[in-house]
Amino acid sequence: MLLDLNDYPLLAIFPVSLVLILGAGEVGHWLGERAARRGAPGVSTLEAAILGLLALMIGFTFSMALSRFEARRDGVVIEAAAIGTTALRARLLPAPHDREVVKLLRDYVQLRLDLTKRPVSLAEFNDAISRSNAIQEALWRQAKAVAAKDNGMVPTGLFLQSLNEMIDDQEKRLAALHNRLPAIIVIALYGVSIVGVGFAGYGSGVETKRSRLPVHLMGVLVAAMVLLIQDIDRPGAGFIKVSQQSMASTAALLAGFPDQAAP
């Protein structure tokens, strides 16, 4: 079974990866010193090729992770806009459906904001989705009740349209949340990083005039860059967060709606 690094916290992954990458540099340096004593030729061409492949891998995976991050960020904005539109159109519905729908939408938005306040377990996430689906079902029952009384395009038809879009936007956002970097790509990135730093260490060992400090610095930078890529790929559990300002603004908009219908 392929190792999935998403199952482990970033703060645990970084020191392990740092030890492996720096250890590869030290092993490479030791092997280079042994090769130098035997009069073996340098490997500068191969070293440059491996480091070039490492740079390509980092750029490729960073681009993949960034595109997924942007999709999650856009998902928040799109879903918040859909909820806000649904709430505005709900206010056109006859009483008491207008107040009931707005109340349900307030719970719907708050549920999303609560999920982003702290890292949640898979069980908590699935429970939140179940409650979200239950609210959607309650909203749909309200829509059916309104349609039974008045199936006109305004306001019932507009409300049904925005409600459908809101439900679809949840599915799109969930798809974006589950769209992670394939585990094989992250493992391959670590593999190329270890080999690349190892060859850099080997080159420093063969060429005795070269210092080991640049190899150590490169190892730290490579480990930090790979950690950054993983952090971007899981914005709910790492240091980099997807902004929830759009959802918070929608929650403030709904909070400003009156609870009682105007006389």
Of 108, 92, 77, 134, the C-alpha closest to 251 is 108
The predicted structure's pLDDT at residue 262: 44
Q: Which residues of 190-221 are buried (b: 16+ CB within 10 A; e: fewer)?
A: bebbbbbbbbbbbbbbbeeebeeeebbebbee
Residue type, 169: D
Per-residue pLDDT of 52-73, as tens digits, reads 999 999 999 999 999 999 999 9
Entry pTM: 0.85
Per-residue pLDDT of 229-254, as tens digits, reads 999 998 777 788 898 999 999 999 99
Structural contact between residues 163 and 143, judged by C-beta atoms closer than 8 angstroms:
yes
Per-residue pLDDT of 29-48, as tens digits, reads 888 888 877 766 667 777 78
User: How far from 42 is each of 22, 46, 107, 175, CA to CA, in Å?
Assistant: 21, 9, 66, 49
CA-CA distance, 79 to 86, in Å (whole number)? 11
Per-residue pLDDT of 73-112, as tens digits, reads 999 999 999 999 999 999 888 888 989 999 999 999 999 9
For residue 214, pLDDT over 80 is answered with yes
Of 16, 24, 15, 23, the C-alpha closest to 50 is 24
Q: What is the mean pLDDT of the chain?
A: 88
Residue type, 211: S
